[in-house]
């Protein structure tokens, strides 16, 4: 069969690795979810967020070679997914050193999803306005009244509003706070304790065009912070910091069955430690809701994805230990996985990746 491109989220093919709003019509092409045969593909050395692909049968604007955004696609070789790769180990937030927050997208999306469960409609998407964002780490969510005022301001301004930051999750805020506390990334401005920033309430945005927008946004209720934080504007409204904290606490408890914390919406050392101990790629999202599972030094990997693997092993007639499907990837589960892999003629490494998940019947072929 060869290579194929699976588009899992509507995306834009590009000729250059820049915001699609900055490309001409012939340099971009909207493409919907689906499977497309590839002639070949390569990693794009100039930008880690894109791959270069050559379509086998499809041409767009008379070209078969395009860049694709890695967060919206998968690359397959026959029936094996080869990109994105499972990380060798999860990167915990406390160990994450890059200055940008783009690497936290998986965890961010999960926190925002729980936030919307807790307070439906409290955050609204404003990506339909005339804006451009600096990258996938910028989440275009604000409270409804803030969006209404922003829409009027953009209309008056008559130009696109560029954003460096919009809604900021607890995880993003803690990363910035960690950088500040540890003297990394040239942080000179004060960084708010997670839960106290208006970014966590959908009442703030940062724009590099502050000198233009400081003459427009205040007329519609958006306050400019002045030269002490010149890119920053905020809007009066309901403080949702405790909801943002509680959303993470609930997310943590769902994925750490043996290390529960109070979901009281209060920031303290216990919650801070758990955010710092969270995988930046998210809990169980590396492949259709499943991480690459492996035996680690205690604490062991935990979560609903582990429990599903354990139950599949039990259904296959194998023992995962006397506690059964407890959601903890300990030595007994590791041994059961290796036994299953040997029985099925797979590589016996005790690591649950895409091939093992398919043999267990958890992922479709």
Asked whether residue 267 is domain-assigned, the answer is no
Do 201 and 115 lie in one domain? The reply is yes
Tell me which residue of 305, 339, 341, 342 sits closest to 325, measured CA to CA.
305
Residues in the chain: 365
Tens of pLDDT, residue by residue over 125-149, are 898 999 998 877 888 999 999 999 9
Please report, for residues 142, 145, 304, 318, 324, the alpha-carbon distance to residue 315 in angstroms, rounded to integers and kept in the order given.
46, 52, 16, 7, 11
Domain count, the chain: 3
Check which CATH number belongs to the domain holding 66 and give it. Answer: 2.30.30
Do 216 and 337 lie in one domain? The reply is no
Confidence of residue 283 (pLDDT cuts 50, 70, 90): confident
For residue 261, the SS3 value is coil
Asked whether residue 285 is domain-assigned, the answer is no
Q: How many CB atoms lie within 10 A of CB 218?
A: 13
pLDDT of amino acid 87: 46
Q: How far apart are CA 283 and CA 286, in angstroms?
A: 8
pLDDT of amino acid 97: 86
Domain C-terminal end among 207, 234, 261? 234
Domain C-terminal end among 32, 58, 83? 83
Q: How far apart are CA 254 and CA 314, in angstroms?
A: 22
Range of the structural domain that residue 11 is part of: 3-83
Asked whether residue 151 is domain-assigned, the answer is yes
Do 37 and 112 lie in one domain? The reply is no
234, pLDDT greater than 50? yes
Do 36 and 160 lie in one domain? The reply is no
Q: What mean pLDDT, rounded, does the chain reach? A: 87
Domain C-terminal end among 83, 104, 138? 83
Please report, for residues 4, 78, 286, 309, 356, the alpha-carbon distance to residue 290 in angstroms, rounded to integers and kept in the order given.
21, 20, 6, 9, 11
pTM over 0.75: no
Name which residue leads in pLDDT, 258 or 303: 303
Asked whether residue 271 is domain-assigned, the answer is no
Check which CATH number belongs to the domain holding 120 and give it. Answer: 3.30.1380.10
Do 65 and 10 lie in one domain? The reply is yes
Any idea which of 18-22, 215-219, 268-272 has the lowest mean pLDDT?
18-22
DSSP 86: P
Do 64 and 189 lie in one domain? The reply is no
Do 118 and 45 lie in one domain? The reply is no
360, pLDDT greater than 70? yes
Over pLDDT 90: what percentage of the chain? Answer: 51
Overall average pLDDT of the 329-342 stretch: 91
pLDDT of amino acid 305: 85
Asked whether residue 279 is domain-assigned, the answer is no
Residues 302-312 as b/e (b if ≥16 CB within 10 A, e otherwise) read bbebbbbbbeb
And the tokens for 62? 């008379």
Do 137 and 102 contact (CB within 8 A), yes or no?
yes
Asked whether residue 243 is domain-assigned, the answer is no
């Amino acid at each position: 069969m060869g290579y194929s491109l699976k588009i899992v989220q509507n995306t834009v093919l590009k000729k250059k690795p820049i915001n699609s709003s900055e490309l001409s019509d012939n340099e971009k092409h909207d493409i919907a979810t689906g499977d497309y045969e590839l002639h070949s593909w390569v990693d794009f050395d100039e930008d880690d967020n894109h791959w270069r692909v050559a379509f086998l049968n499809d041409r767009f604007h008379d070209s078969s070679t395009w860049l694709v955004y890695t967060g919206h696609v998968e690359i397959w070789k026959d029936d094996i997914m080869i990109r994105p790769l499972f990380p060798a180990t999860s990167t915990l937030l406390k160990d994450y050193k890059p200055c940008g927050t783009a690497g936290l997208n998986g965890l961010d999306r999960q926190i925002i999803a729980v936030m919307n469960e807790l307070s439906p409609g409290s955050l609204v998407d404003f990506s339909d306005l005339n804006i451009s964002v600096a990258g996938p780490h910028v989440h275009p969510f604000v409270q409804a009244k803030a969006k209404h005022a922003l829409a009027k301001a953009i209309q008056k301004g008559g130009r696109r509003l560029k954003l460096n930051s919009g809604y900021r999750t607890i995880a993003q805020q803690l990363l910035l706070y960690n950088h500040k506390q540890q003297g990394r990334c040239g942080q000179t401005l004060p960084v708010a304790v997670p839960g106290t920033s208006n970014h966590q309430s959908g009442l703030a945005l940062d724009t590099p065009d502050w000198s233009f927008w400081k003459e427009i946004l205040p007329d519609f209720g958006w306050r400019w912070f002045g030269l002490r934080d010149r890119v920053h504007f905020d809007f009066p409204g309901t403080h949702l910091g405790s909801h943002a904290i509680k959303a993470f606490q609930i997310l943590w408890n769902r994925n750490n069955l043996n290390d529960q914390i109070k979901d009281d919406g209060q920031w303290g050392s216990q919650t801070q430690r758990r955010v710092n101990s969270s995988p930046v790629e998210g809990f169980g999202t590396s492949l259709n809701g499943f991480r690459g599972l492996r035996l680690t030094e205690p604490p062991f990997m935990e979560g609903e994805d582990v429990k599903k693997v354990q139950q599949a092993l039990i259904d296959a007639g194998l023992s995962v230990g006397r506690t059964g499907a407890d959601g903890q990837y300990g030595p007994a589960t590791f041994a059961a996985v290796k036994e299953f892999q040997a029985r099925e003629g797979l590589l016996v490494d005790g690591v649950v990746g895409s091939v093992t998940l398919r043999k267990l019947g958890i992922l479709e072929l």
